[in-house]
Structures are given as C-alpha cells and as structure tokens.
Structure 1
Amino acid sequence: MAGDTMTQFPTGIGTSDADHISLLGHDLAGELLGSLTFGELAYWLATKRRPTPSQLRVFDAVLVSLADHGFTPTAIAARLTLYSAPDSLQGAIAAGLLGGGSRFLGVTEDTGTFLHASVADLGDTAGWDDAAWDELATSTLTAARGAGKRIPGLGHPVHKVTDPRTAVMFAIADEEGLKGPHLRLFEAIGRVHPEIIGRTLPLNGAGVAGAALADAGLPLALLRGFALLARTAGLIGHLAEELEDPIGPDVYATVDRNAVYTSNALEQKE
C-alpha cells in the first residue's frame, strides 16, 4: 500500500467476494453453471473469447484424442507414485504430468510451433492446391534437415504405419471448416517426407492435435497445456483403476528383483 492507494492486481479470469464468484466477467453461479461445458470453459479461459461451435468440436476432439494411450511412461509414473505415496493423489497426477515432454504429449506443442514458423507469414492461402502445399512442405523439411532438426509429429512408437487418430482429426477439422494452414502443411508433410528423409513414417496423433489446435485459434504457447489437460483425465482413470486393481507393486517388484549390478567405467579404471 502506498499512501491511500491500495495496490491492485488486475485479472480478466476471476474474482470473488463474500457472496459472489465472477468468472470471465460473468456470475459463475447465476450464468455459467449448467449452461457451459468444461471444454468451452477451457477454450474461453485460454483465449478470452468463447469458441464457435466448430472450434469447440475440434477442441473437444483433440482433448479426447490425447486423454490416454495405454501404459505410457506418464501413466506408469503416476501409478508407481500412487503406490509409493497412496496418501497423495495430487502427487501421482503431478508425476504423470511432469513426464509430458518431447517424446510424449509435448509433441503437440512442438508440432504446432514447427508448422507455425512456416505458415505465419503466408497471408491468404485459401486458393492453394496440394501442389503448393507440397512445395512448402518440401522446403520446410529440407531446411529442417539441413539444420539438423528433428521433425515433430512424424512417427510413433506403437503405430508404425498409421496412427488411427490422424485421419479422423483431419476429417473433423475439414467438416467444421477449420482445416487451415497448419493442418494443410502437416498433411503435405505426410505426402512428401519419404523422399526427403528416406523412409515413410505416419503422422502421429499428437502432431495433428497441435496443428488442429493452432488452426482452431488456440495460443501456441499453451498447446502443451491442452495436451496435459487432456492427459489429466486419463491419469485420473489410471489412478482409479490402480486403486481397484493395482499393477504398481508388480512393476516395482519385477524391476527391483531383476536388477543386476554392473560395475561402471569409473570403477573399472580404479
């Protein structure tokens, strides 16, 4: 406090007093509860604008596509943390989310950012045909390869030929009129990459999610956050199952009982 002026901390998210909760400038209890879906709220919170029905459908589809992918390292980490600290559900969820990086979940952000670097300054591309997109994809991949950069969104550890989510996400975006430059460039990368990198890889679901979110108007800096938001639901499912039918003890015991000591290079020198 300086003099008679109270310090203020402006926010466009929410405030509350003894009788009211305000969220995004609306009365939470009187206006939003029962009339707003969680997906719509998440989009609105991130962009400060309500999504169109088309944007919401694409956004919800992305969240569903990223919610779970089986016993990924993130799910295993969450389950083992719950086994180690059964009194800390929040710790187990956090452990799973902390594993969201360049191999799992972070690909959503990496792909969106990679594509945006090539489409940000294109202007109107409504009249572009596949040949024009293929040309841009070729130059984009060639430049990335020349700089020694990896191509995010290509390949998957399980789906070696086709990621089943990819075609569906392209179709949904197309149906909603939201197959924009990020998705079109990503689609073109799928067509031209074999001749550039020397092998054929599938466009993965996390990559198409990043392209779809970018075309749906979500901020690039938050794309990983939406992947983590989606995976939170999946982790809660894994933890609910872990409480009923745990695998954590078996995973721990299997690794621990089969651990074999080997001397390291430093000890060998000594």
Structure 2
Amino acid sequence: MAGRSALETYKQGGSWWETEISDIKKNEIIIRGKRIEDLIGNISYSQMLYFLLCGKELTDNQAKLFESVLVAGADHGPRAPSIAAARMAATCGVSFNSAVATGVNMLGDVHGGAVEDAMALLYETERIQLKNEHAVADKLSELLESGQKLPGFGHQLHDNDPRVQRLYELSHLLIESGEISGNYLRILEDYRGTISSIKNRRFTINVDGISAAVQCELGVPAEAAKGIFSLSRGMGIVAHAYEERKNGTLIKGPCPNEEKLVRYTGKRVEESEQS
C-alpha cells in the first residue's frame, strides 16, 4: 500500500482506479493483455485464477497441482465453522447468496488463516537460508520461545490426513519434471523433522501445511492465501447451503436445545437480588 489517500493520488494526476488486470470497453474485454475470447475454452479455472492474480501463465501440470489444492480444501463437513454457519443461515430464511456469504465470512485468521501463516513462514525461511543454513532450527526456536504455534502442523481430527499424502504425490511428479523446485516442500519437511526431534514425538503435516508449500512452489503471494481458500471452501459452502435449504429445515441453531450443551455462568437470581 502506498499510504496515500485516493483523493490525493487523483489530485496529483493519477486515475481514480488504476489496474493492470483488466481493460473493459464496449464489446471488448482484455485480461492482462489477452482477449477474453482467447482465454475462454483454452485455459482452466485454476489457470485463470493464477493469471488474474499473478499475471503469469501456469503449465497444464502446474495448473492441475494448483487446482488440486482448491479441491483438497473444498469441504470438511459441518464440523467446520464456515460450513455450519452457512447451513444455519440457510435455515433462517435469508437469500441463498446471503447464506453462502455467511459461510465465507467465517473464514479469517483462526479458521482459514493457517495457509497464509505457513506460506509467510516458508517464504521467510527460504530467504534466510541463503545466508543461514540453520534457518529452520533458528526460526523454530524463535516461534516456540514466543509461545507461537508452528503453522501447518497437527489437526484436531486427522493424524494421517488423506489429502496430504495425495498432494505430496502430485507435487513430486512436478519436481521430477522440473516444473517446481521442491525447495519449499523440503523446508516443510525440515520443520517436521526438527520439531519432532525437539518434542520427541512425530508431528504430522496438515492440509494447510502442504497447501502452503505447493502454493509457495508456484509463487502465489502469501497475502492472497485466505482469498484462495475462500474460493476453495466456497465450493463446499455452496453445496451445504443448498442441501440445507432443500431440506426445508427451519431455524437451526449451533446446537440442540439441551441444557448440558449451553451452560449459564452468570449470577443466579438470589445473588442478583442480594446485590
């Protein structure tokens, strides 16, 4: 961000909106220097997403790997807050797009933010390694000493997430063909080995960790990770919101109306009257 107000920029001769992404005129749509009709039918969704975001073109194999990340994060059932929120919204009579937006708006730093954190860590570690061969150990010590978690590791449910192994398999095919370097995947493995040694137990890489490494291999900006995850999980949100809407259920809250599930921790009536 330049840090200047839009009005200040405009007064100094800039346009109100400036973009390198698209040029839209009557009967003409140009996306990063290419006619939209030349893109339609010739590139995939993942290639278009990457082209819009990064201004570069992925090979077919790279695009399939990127798309595999989108597929891997598409759904994790109503245990996931984003899915549950979309389903609850659908039972409350809001429009379908509002139900979907409710789910997407649940994605943030805590639910959906681990990929960005892991990507930032991998990018930083790769830069440090150019001068310090102990970058992984040093960075991990820094995280642990400050009480931070190592992003991309561990899961509440899975200790052998099937998505992780599959993304590894697909990634190694591109390492062998030279279409990705494998540097960030190796750094991720170094973190796993180092923290497992420190904690004296085997740590597991989760889907956020492998997704982060893959996107770093492709040069995706870390700051875009939550947006990309929103597009990925958005598929599941749409499906679940539609299913709940079709079921005709009305006003479903976050849990059944059972006393043991919701506990009041405030003052009792007699305590309130005494005070």
Counterpart of 2:45 (choices 38, 42, 48) is 38
Report the counterpart of residue 151 of structure 2 in structure 1: 152
- CA drift of 1:64 comes to 0.7
Paired residues of 1:74 and 1:97 also in contact (CA < 8 A): yes
- Among 232, 236, 239, which residue is 1:237 paired with? 239
The number of equivalent residue pairs is 256
Following TM superposition, by how much is the alpha carbon of 1:232 offset from its aligned partner in structure 2, in angstroms? Answer: 0.9
CA drift at 1:45: 0.7
Provide closer, same or farther for how the CA distance between residues 247 and 217 of structure 1 changes in structure 2, counting only shifts above 3 A. farther
Structure 2 runs not aligned, ≥5 long: 1-9
- Contact 1:173 1:179 (8 Å CA) reproduced: no
How far apart are 1:41 and its partner, in Å? 0.4
- 1:21 and 2:20 are equivalent in the alignment: no
Amino acid paired to 1:75: I
Superposition RMSD in Å: 2.9
TM-score w.r.t. the length of structure 2 is 0.81
Contact 2:128–2:135 under 8 Å retained in 1: no
Secondary structure at the aligned position of 1:45 is classed as helix
TM-score normalised by the chain length of structure 1: 0.83
Q: Give the whole-Å Cα distance in 2 for the aligned partners of 1:57 and 1:154.
A: 24
1:190 offset after TM fit, Å?
2.0
**Aligned partners of 1:188, 1:6: CA distance in 2, in Å?**
47
Give the deviation of 1:109 after TM superposition: 0.8
Query: More deviation in 6-15 or 258-267?
Result: 258-267
Q: Does 1:99 align with 2:101?
A: no
Matches within 5 A, 1:1-270: 7=15, 9-28=17-36, 30-71=37-78, 72-86=80-94, 88-123=95-130, 136-159=135-158, 161-177=159-175, 178=180, 180-245=182-247, 249=251, 251-252=252-253, 254-256=255-257, 258=259, 262-264=264-266, 268=271, 270=275
Looking at structure 1, the residues matched to 144 and 14 of structure 2 have their Cα atoms a distance apart, in angstroms, of: 55
CA distance in 1, matches of 2:117, 2:93: 32
Segments of 5+ residues of structure 1 without an aligned counterpart are 126-131
Would the aligned equivalents of 2:119 and 2:216 in 1 still touch at CA under 8 Å?
yes
4+ residue segments displaced more than 6 Å = none
Alignment correspondent of 1:129: none
Report the secondary structure of 1:84's partner residue: coil
